[in-house]
Amino acid sequence: PSTPDPSDFLAVDAGLDDDERSIRDTVREFAEERLAPHVAQWYSDGGLPVRDLAAEFGKLGVFGMHLAGYGCAGTSATAYGIACRELEAVDSGLRSFVSVQGSLAMKAIHRWGSEEHRQQWLPAMAAGEAIGCFGLTESDAGSDPGSMRTRARRDGSDWVLDGTKMWITNGTAADVAVVWAQTDEGIRGFVVPTDTPGFSAPEIHRKLSLRASVTSELVLEGVRLPEDAAFPDVRGLRGPLTCLSEARFGILAGVVGAARNCYETALRYTLDRHQFDKPLAGFQLTQRKLADLVVEVNRAGLVALQISRLKDAGTLHHHQVSFGKMANVRAALEVARTARTMLGGSGITLEYPVMRHMANLETVLTYEGTEEMHALSIGQAVTGLPAFR
């Protein structure tokens, strides 16, 4: 047997099939050539060239790639996870763009929309010609979305929506917003074209994390929609939670990329840099850290692959998604923090990706269910006792 590959120590990718490997190579090449050279600038500017990127992601075929029909590629969940990993190896904000478009906005329309919603939006969204966002969180309803105040009331055959959503990825750039609101029949989802009068989406500035991503408020003031703007069949939190489970899958696979990139950066850096007349990588304390990083990156990769296979087999339970999200984001943050120390002063700059990943991962720890919520989900699964409230 040959010596393990430092970039894939446990040969996790040997568990991929040929199609999945070819998607990995295509997305990795795109990420390295088209995204990586610009990401530090986008991060420091606090913004993205959203339209250009949407068109390119559309051409690459990553928007809604694991959905079937309507211009979507229909790949395995495993392939989608690998694409997320390769994008997040550049930046969590870029993976968030793709996750929100594909796993939240498109998935909601694909799963819960009427045939007209699907025909109207999905092909354009898959092609990157239309951008979507997903409005669930409010300033007073984060971990507890059931307490949302945004309301949709009937007025004749129309719906009228009032309320404010907070922390909405892609909001300012979106052509269509999937908005969840209280109604007399429970929480329902609405497909809201963002040019509807009364809708606005001011951008949230001064973020110290996920800066290469658009984050917005959604303000709905008397937004009047036709009756068929509502998702026809789903009521209650089941609607948004189905989509969140999809997006969390993208995260647990994606963060493996951020962790790998931090580890590889630390490995290269410590091999190159000399102190006390030898490479930093030659000191025992550095090798201890490198070994810890290798273990965390590969363990997270295995968790992601196992959960991907469960998803493809149709047996993945949302408690297992919670396991993956909690375990892998935690691992990635640990890797980023340790890698940061290994770069010394250089580690705090945008010249290297490590501190950027570390700051991003603080958002990733919080969004799509905080670490605490996923711990409670695992706790419920093993005890049968819900401790959420």
Q: Give contact residues for ligand FAD (rule: CB under 6 A).
A: 100, 134-137, 142-143, 167-169, 210, 215, 363, 366-368, 370, 372-373, 388
Minimum CB distance to ligand FAD smaller for 198 or for 379:
379
Q: What is the C-alpha separation between 155 and 369, in angstroms, rounded?
A: 34
Residue 154 structure tokens: 């009937």
CA distance 263 to 106: 33
Contact 336, 354 (CB under 8 A): yes
88 is catalytic: no
DSSP strand pairing (176-183 vs 132-135): parallel
H-only helix segments in the chain: 18-30, 36-45, 50-60, 77-88, 92-99, 107-112, 115-126, 238-272, 284-313, 318-342, 354-366, 371-383
Pairing of strands 215-225, 199-200: antiparallel
Sequence-distant (6+) residues with CB within 8 A of 361 are 92, 255, 258, 329, 332, 333, 336
In angstroms, what is the minimal distance from the CB of 138 to ligand FAD?
A: 8
Beta carbon of residue 227, minimum distance to ligand FAD (angstroms, whole number):
24
In angstroms, rounded to a whole number, what is the distance separating the alpha carbons of residues 132 and 97? 9
Minimum Å gap between C-beta 363 and ligand FAD is 4
Distance CA 351, CA 354 (A): 9
Neighbouring C-alpha atoms within 13 Å toward the C-beta of 85 = 31
Nearest-angstrom CA–CA distance, 173 and 195: 11
CB of 46 to ligand FAD, least distance (A): 12
- Least gap, CB of 187 to ligand FAD (angstroms): 13
Q: Which is nearer to ligand FAD, 113 or 132 (CB)?
A: 132
Q: Quick one: 174 or 253, whose CB is closer to ligand FAD?
A: 174
Q: Is 219 helix (H, G, I), strand (E, B) or coil?
A: strand
Cβ distance to ligand FAD smaller for residue 214 or 266: 214
Count Cα neighbours of 218 within 13 Å in the Cβ-side half-sphere.
36
* Closest-approach residue to ligand FAD (CB): 142
11 C-beta neighbours (distance < 10 Å), count: 12
- Using the minimum distance from each CB to ligand FAD, give the nearer residue, 180 or 269: 180
Cβ closest to ligand FAD, residue 134 vs residue 249: 134
CB of 176 to ligand FAD, least distance (A): 13
- Judged by CB, which is closer to ligand FAD: 61, or 171? 171
- Residue 322 Cβ vs ligand FAD, minimum distance, rounded to whole Å: 13
Which of 166, 165, 69 minimizes the C-alpha distance to 125? 69
Selecting among 20, 86, 138, 368, the annotated active-site residue is 368
Catalytic residues: 368
